[in-house]
A and B are shown apart, each in its own frame.
Chain A
Amino acid sequence: MTLTELMETLPYGPAPEAAQPALDWLKAHQGKFGLFIGGKWRDPASQEWFATLNPANAQKLAEVAQASAVDVDEAVKAARKAFIGWSQTPGHVRARYLYAMARQVQKHARLFAVLETLDNGKPIRETRDIDIPLVARHFYYHAGWAQLMESELAGYAPLGVVGQIIPWNFPLLMLSWKIAPALAMGNTVVLKPAEFTPLTALLFAEICQSIGLPPGVVNILTGDGKTGAALVEHPGVDKIAFTGSTEVGRLIRKATAGSGKKLSLELGGKSPFLVFEDADLDSAVEGVVDAIWFNQGQVCCAGSRLLVQEGIAERMYTKLRARMEKLRVGNPLDKAVDIGAIVAPVQLQKIQQLVQKGVEEGARLWQPSWAVPSEGCFYPPTLFTEVAPASTIAQEEIFGPVLAALTFRTPEEAVRLANNTRYGLAASIWSEDINLALDIATQIKAGTIWINSTNLFDAASGFGGYRESGFGREGGKEGLWEYVKKAESPHPKAQSRKTRAPSRAAKETPSLQPATFSFQPPIDRTAKLFIGGRQARPDSGYSKAVYAPDGQLLGEVGLGNRKDIRNAVEAARAAFEAWRKASAHNRAQILYFLAENLSERAEEFGHRIHAQTGQDGHAEVEAALEALFTAAAWADKYEGVVHPTPIRNVTLAIPEPIGVMGILCPDDQPLLALARLAGTALALGNTLVVVPSPLAPLVATDFYQVLETSDIPAGTFNIVTGERDELAKTLAEHDDVDAVWYAGPQAGHALVERASAGNMKRTWMLLPSGPLPNTDEILRQATQVKNIWVPYGA
């Protein structure tokens, strides 16, 4: 076209970023890369390589090594060796390395950006303006935590060797989210980048070399799912951090069950994007663009479900369609392209199939009038309206540029629809009414809430899911806990942790002399279960004998079964919302009252404990009273923080209760376990199904009488006695239980962790006896952090 013609129509025209520097870098490596193990490049044991392609044109970029179990073993060994030195390296020195990584990423920012776009297909605008700056920010931020660890995480130590598996949608960014906190806390790393997008991780490995990072601190293994599986299963790995699909996350949960490996999972999502009638609609439309057409919609927290208030729905759709016409799909290296290439043909097919399904299920499809490039992996922005909540496209993660729109009438219905999902990663809320927006923000079950904004990320703010979107946080101080353990108490994985159940046969001299009590033949008592605020007989109709350590029969407790657990969980679920919303002061008052009423019966409990455990019952009652006071004290003091993220906003990090929890108590300290574990969980707003100590359950069945007199709302605290592992399995499998704390033998750990994979509930494994965890750990385990971003501006 001539200049005159161009002046008539004023089109954008091509504006390509040069690919050559990145291609030159590939060429300098002869287009072939080995594995980065122990600070050196080496060929894979298998001598196998596979190609990585540019999805925009299907051309081969390079060949990367296929790491096998042998290579994984080598890398873990190298990381283990390096851990000895790295974990002893002063925080300031680690900070210098992380600072150097940040600086190196910045210095080579454009090379990283271009390479990422070539390998992944996402637009250069995103890699240049979003991914790579966030990577640098992540290393800077965690350099700070390395510096501060000694003072701010006093008493905590690194875990050891961390296996990290990252996805293809934000290759380098996810690498930084994994490596930065791990290294900052003194761990060493074996990282496997995604099969489709290994290149920037390899360039990053070169940075590790160039800054003189000690060999073995970071190891990079390219490979496919088999490589990842070998890493997950390697016994020398202390923790697995995974970002990817819920499907694979579930496999990892099962594979690591009972191994003692710490686990954090950042999984899928079907995040709601709520638009209320008092929203700035034009801005909300731009929000949708950033929500679902960012990175081709291949974002775990993509706002893929548009929930619009019915009265404004048509206006919103009209504006949205007009905006979609203006989107530009094409060459990802073009600086004026909004939507690049889908990562691979297999992903494109998945998107096409799900869209087809949406059409078949009766939703109305709309796509812009223009066509996408015929060559390469491209898919147009797509809007589905008239979507039913029950339809596949409203439920399943599509991981593509496809938006499913539903309508709601009231705020209450908006929350119900928003939470009508197995996931809970993020949500975006649009309203100019701060009362409404914050009200909704507290009710949506998701780890990150953006008010009048979407897809904002920062290293200072924790990111991670509720429900099947996984557990653990990345970023913020909350993210550091995933990479440390208590320094004084060895990690459950560590050796010399033998289960030491008190011997029932042991004849111990009672420390409480019968003389201090007048023993008369007791009236036969029937200990029941305590469900929904009422004493309930076990469904089975069976009872189980309880013996003293010397073998004397002390009484019976009901043998609870699946149905009792079902009833207890139902009661706990029904009680949850009210208990969660009760003021912290109110919860504290109830716990103090509970302590008050327990102290009234201290002698009796002391005796009861002693009779069942042979231990000093008085001391345990005193400890329990103190634990209840501690729990009550924390109820209104376990606070969130405001993260200083670098935009004009407040990012509120709020610890929220996890929900319905199953707590399977340890063998010993039957009352203290109730007070410390259950009391703390209760204080923070969880509702509970407690399975008491199998050896001393009568303490708990006495305890419900105290509960009954202490204004504990019905259903918040349920007690089911019975076979611990049988009940544990039912609880761990139950889809409406959000967390299970299990104190028991190693075999039980495996059982519970494996069964928890169904709804990806949080699990916490404790030993069957010995010291109970410290309160700070219990507080963290009893909550999950929700980050609410609230931008402001007159």
Chain B
Amino acid sequence: MATATIPQAHMLERNPGTPFDPGALEGALVNRSAVERRTATLPTRRTVKKEWQAAWLLHAIKTIDLTTLSGDDTPGTVRRLCAKARQPVRAELLHDLGLPHLRLTTGAVCVYHEMVPTAVAALEGSGIPVAAVSTGFPAGLNPHRLKLQEIEASVAAGASEIDIVISRRHVLTGNWKALYQEVRDFREACGPAHMKSILAVGELGTLKNVFKASMVCMQAGSDFIKTSTGKEAVNATLQNSLVMVRAIRAYYEQTGHKVGFKPAGGIRSAKQALDWLILMKEELGLEWMQPHLFRIGASALLNDIERQLEHFAYGRYASMQYQPLG
């Protein structure tokens, strides 16, 4: 078992979950229009400029789960990605930002199970955890038994984070007990690996369902709750993120356990990354902006952040071609 080292980014205390508590779902009162108004004004009420923005963007890099989840992934492309995760900003630019010694990596690298060994090897010694999407990602309609085996296989292969997908049908039919049991089983299968539960919010129908599914997944012991696979028609939005973040706060108030949040899918620009960081700062505070409680699942985002950093460093607009590919 290659699970010995839990990277530094993780907090010591994990969410142990709670017994299934349907009572916590009754308070699921989510007003869509009000949520939309809040998220519409979040990015207009707050902004960061100049060196503050640069600091936030550098920080954002630390929270990225640098991801490749394509059918045509090969060991070669995964190794390229891992190299980018180790060196997300080119040394020259870091130097010119006055940070030649900054040890900067992404939060994790996220791949399919088959690519876990390649990623583990490529990241050896970097402290960067490897995350594996699992449980029949993205649709989650494989046999339950096989899903558990898939988790165990990925953990055995060296993944220290497992991004599971939930069975959407349990949400859509209101079978919360079944959802709880499913996620509980996944959590046990994860063992020491941290579990991120993907709700696939774009397929849950309503924001109330998003809130309830968040609650059940946290009760079942998720370390993170995550918006999307990136494969649904609607992925991370500020609206569904706000609802999930408020569920995290409610769960923390009820149990004292801290659960992380991972928006994924469609976050491509530095501006968007800042919007999500603002969301975390406003709704949950500084601690929940740290990689042990906040990750952004993204692939193209990193290059745009580099461009913005370059603009800050040199005062002129940058071109993508100057940013090394992942």
* Contacts A280-B31, A286-B37, A290-B37 known; 20 new A-B pairs at CB < 8 A: A6-B54, A6-B55, A6-B56, A10-B289, A12-B46, A12-B48, A15-B48, A15-B49, A125-B44, A129-B41, A279-B31, A280-B29, A280-B35, A283-B31, A287-B34, A452-B34, A453-B34, A649-B33, A793-B32, A793-B36
Q: Which residues of B contact A4 (CB under 8 A)?
A: 99, 102
Q: A4-B102, A10-B277, A794-B32 are in contact. Are A453 and B51 (CB under 8 A)?
A: no
When C-beta atoms are compared, the residue in chain A nearest to B56 turns out to be A10
B52 within 8 A of A: yes
Q: A3-B55, A6-B52, A453-B37 are in contact. Are A432 and B31 (CB under 8 A)?
A: yes
Report the bound CA distance from A125 to B47 in whole Å: 11
* Shortest CB distance B60–A (Å): 10
Q: A129-B44, A281-B29, A794-B206 are in contact. Are A13 and B34 (CB under 8 A)?
A: no
Number of B positions contacting A (CB below 8 A): 37
A10-B59 in contact (CB<8A): yes
B99-A13 in contact (CB<8A): no
CB neighbors of B among A586-633 (8 A): none
* Shortest CB distance A381–B (Å): 14
When C-beta atoms are compared, the residue in chain B nearest to A334 turns out to be B47
6 closest A-B pairs by beta carbon, nearest first, are A13-B52, A793-B32, A6-B55, A283-B34, A791-B33, A280-B31
Report the bound CA distance from A250 to B212 in whole Å: 53
B286-A283 in contact (CB<8A): no
Instruction: Pick the residue among B33, B38, B52, B58 that contacts A793 (CB under 8 A).
Output: B33
Q: A4-B102, A7-B55 are in contact. Are A335 and B47 (CB under 8 A)?
A: yes
Q: Which residues of A contact B281 (CB under 8 A)?
A: 10
Contact with B along A629-656 (1 / 0, CB 8 A): 0000000000000000001110000000
Interface centre among B31, B59, B281, B289 (most CB of A within 10 A): B31
Report the bound CA distance from A649 to B205 in whole Å: 20
A11-B33 in contact (CB<8A): no
B50 within 8 A of A: yes
Chain B: interface secondary structure? helix
CB neighbors of A among B163-199 (8 A): none
Report the bound CA distance from A281 to B59 in whole Å: 31
When C-beta atoms are compared, the residue in chain A nearest to B242 turns out to be A282
Report the bound CA distance from A527 to B58 in whole Å: 90
Instruction: Pick the residue among B29, B41, B54, B286 that contacts A9 (CB under 8 A).
Output: B286
Report the bound CA distance from A4 to B31 in whole Å: 40
Q: A10-B281, A283-B38 are in contact. Are A3 and B47 (CB under 8 A)?
A: no
Q: Which residues of B contact A649 (CB under 8 A)?
A: 33
Q: Which residues of B contact A432 (CB under 8 A)?
A: 29, 31
Interface residues of B (CB under 8 A from A): 29-38, 41, 44-52, 54-56, 58-59, 97-99, 102, 205-206, 246, 277, 281-282, 286, 289
Q: Which residues of B contact A517 (CB under 8 A)?
A: none
Interface centre among A4, A281, A282 (most CB of B within 10 A): A282
Subset of 24 A-B contacts with CB under 8 Å: A3-B54, A4-B102, A6-B51, A6-B56, A7-B58, A7-B59, A10-B55, A12-B47, A13-B49, A13-B51, A15-B49, A125-B44, A129-B41, A280-B31, A280-B35, A286-B37, A287-B34, A290-B37, A336-B46, A336-B48, A432-B29, A793-B32, A793-B36, A794-B32
When C-beta atoms are compared, the residue in chain B nearest to A647 turns out to be B33
A212 within 8 A of B: no
* Shortest CB distance B237–A (Å): 13
When C-beta atoms are compared, the residue in chain A nearest to B280 turns out to be A10
Report the bound CA distance from A12 to B49 in whole Å: 8
B33-A278 in contact (CB<8A): no
Number of A positions contacting B (CB below 8 A): 39
B29-A3 in contact (CB<8A): no
Q: Which residues of A contact B50 (CB under 8 A)?
A: 13
A338-B45 in contact (CB<8A): yes
When C-beta atoms are compared, the residue in chain A nearest to B59 turns out to be A7
When C-beta atoms are compared, the residue in chain A nearest to B281 turns out to be A10
A510 within 8 A of B: no
Q: Which residues of A contact B30 (CB under 8 A)?
A: 280, 283
Instruction: Pick the residue among A1, A13, A286 that contacts B38 (CB under 8 A).
Output: A286
Report the bound CA distance from A11 to B46 in whole Å: 11
B49-A14 in contact (CB<8A): yes
A792 within 8 A of B: yes
CB neighbors of B among A1-49 (8 A): 1-4, 6-7, 9-15
A498 within 8 A of B: no
When C-beta atoms are compared, the residue in chain B nearest to A9 turns out to be B286
Instruction: Pick the residue among B33, B44, B206, B277 that contacts A452 (CB under 8 A).
Output: B33
A326 within 8 A of B: yes
CB neighbors of B among A268-312 (8 A): 278-284, 286-287, 290
Q: Which residues of B contact A286 (CB under 8 A)?
A: 34, 37-38
Q: Which residues of A contact B49 (CB under 8 A)?
A: 13-15
Q: Which residues of A contact B33 (CB under 8 A)?
A: 452-453, 647-649, 791-793
Report the bound CA distance from A793 to B37 in whole Å: 12
Q: Which residues of A contact B34 (CB under 8 A)?
A: 280, 283-284, 286-287, 452-453, 791
